[in-house]
């Protein structure tokens, strides 16, 4: 074999290798959405409607400008019976109640030591984790894990008793973008909405890996982070966490920047590159969601308007 032929063969082999590597890198990131049992009135009333939140998020992502980069599955009856589906997840989003003293139950990812140990294993392999509204509530015994996994939590106890450090306020207020240059802020503009805001969360004020994303000055919380209602954290192991205390009303997804900001946070934790203008998708009605999800299983894509 001549030197020229040998060099051409090596060049072709290298091109095939790098093409294969590129294809491997293009494998969709697996996003698992977990909805807890509804506790605030009947299903469909729009309050803490966890099941409809995860259905909507799947349909929105499956019909967005990042649809080819994600593979989304959802679970409606709490933690998956077969939790092995989480072992290859690139990120997990928990939308559920959280415990508040003797009221309600622990957030799904914090429900018992075995569950916490399982989640810890996923974090150690680099899986992302997102918490939403009520699932930001957590007991002090897991404070170190919550702060490490996703950067903040609603602190409802003192010395084991229900004695809030954090607080709740329902009002219509302007939501400011705290760090416009962060990828999760891509395509997000300040907006105004009525929300049941949780604030004065428990943060580690010295955490340099934490990035506040949304702030509501009208809450008048403690400095420095008392007004923060959405945030992101890059863990020491490279994994990512995102949280928002917003999400009381289902219809808030109709707000463009609200929708974009939360979906940006979700895909960012899965290490999908956030588009310059953010995740672009639309709000879907329950009827449209139901139609899109009909016959869809696992991570199969739910096509709206099919």
pLDDT band with cut points at 50, 70 and 90 for residue 21? very low
Q: What is the mean pLDDT of the chain?
A: 92
Report pTM: 0.91
The answer to the question of residue 233 being in a domain is: yes
Q: Which tokens hold the place of 173?
A: 């207020």
What's the pLDDT at 40?
Answer: 83
Q: How many CA atoms lie within 13 A of 229 on its CB side?
A: 33
Check: CB of residue 128 under 8 Å from CB of residue 239. yes
> Cβ of 170: how many Cβ atoms within 10 Å?
10
Q: Is residue 123 part of a domain?
A: yes
Give the pLDDT score at 39. 85
Q: What's the total number of domains in the chain?
A: 1
3-state secondary structure of 42: coil
Has residue 252 been placed in a domain? Answer: yes
Is residue 4 domain-resident? no
Q: 8-47: b or e for each residue (b if 16 or more CB lie within 10 Å)?
A: eeeeeeeeeeeeeeeeeeeebbbbbbbbbebeeeeeeeee
Share of the chain above pLDDT 70, in %: 92
Is 16 inside a domain boundary? Answer: no
pLDDT, one tens digit per residue, over 116-166 is 999 999 999 999 999 999 999 999 999 999 999 999 999 999 998 999 999
Q: What is the pLDDT of residues 51-95, one digit of tens each?
A: 999 999 999 999 999 999 999 999 998 999 999 999 999 999 999
Q: Residue 165 maps to which CATH number?
A: 3.40.50.880
CB atoms within 10 A of CB 127: 24
Give the structural domain span for 181.
Answer: 28-293
Residue 12, domain member (yes or no)? no
């Amino acid at each position: 074999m001549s030197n020229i032929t040998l060099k051409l063969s090596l060049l072709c082999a290298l091109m095939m290798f790098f093409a294969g590597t590129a294809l491997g890198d293009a494998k969709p990131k697996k996003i698992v959405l977990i909805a807890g049992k509804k506790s605030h009135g009947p299903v469909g009333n729009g309050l803490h409607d966890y099941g409809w939140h995860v259905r909507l998020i799947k349909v929105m992502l499956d019909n967005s400008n990042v649809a080819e980069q994600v593979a989304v599955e959802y679970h409606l009856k709490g933690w998956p019976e077969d939790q092995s589906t989480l072992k290859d997840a690139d990120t997990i989003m928990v939308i559920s109640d959280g415990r508040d003293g003797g009221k309600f139950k622990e957030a799904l990812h914090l429900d018992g030591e075995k569950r916490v140990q399982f989640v810890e294993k996923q974090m150690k392999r680099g899986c992302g984790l997102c918490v939403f509204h009520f699932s930001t509530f957590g007991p002090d015994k897991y404070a170190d894990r919550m702060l490490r996994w996703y950067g903040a939590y609603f602190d409802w106890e003192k010395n084991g008793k229900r004695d809030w450090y954090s607080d709740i306020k329902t009002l219509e207020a302007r939501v400011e973008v705290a760090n416009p240059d962060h990828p999760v802020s891509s395509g997000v503009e300040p907006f105004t909405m009525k929300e049941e805001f949780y604030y004065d969360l428990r943060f580690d004020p010295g955490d340099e890996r934490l990035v506040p994303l949304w702030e509501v000055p009208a809450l008048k919380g403690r400095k420095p982070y008392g007004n923060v209602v959405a945030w992101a954290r890059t863990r020491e192991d490279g994994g990512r966490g995102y949280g928002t205390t917003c999400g009381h009303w289902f219809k808030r997804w109709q707000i463009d920047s609200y929708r974009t900001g939360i979906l940006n946070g979700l895909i960012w934790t899965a290490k999908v590159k956030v588009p310059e203008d953010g995740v672009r998708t639309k709000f879907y009605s329950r009827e449209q969601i139901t139609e899109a999800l009909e016959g869809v299983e696992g991570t199969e894509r739910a096509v709206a308007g099919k």
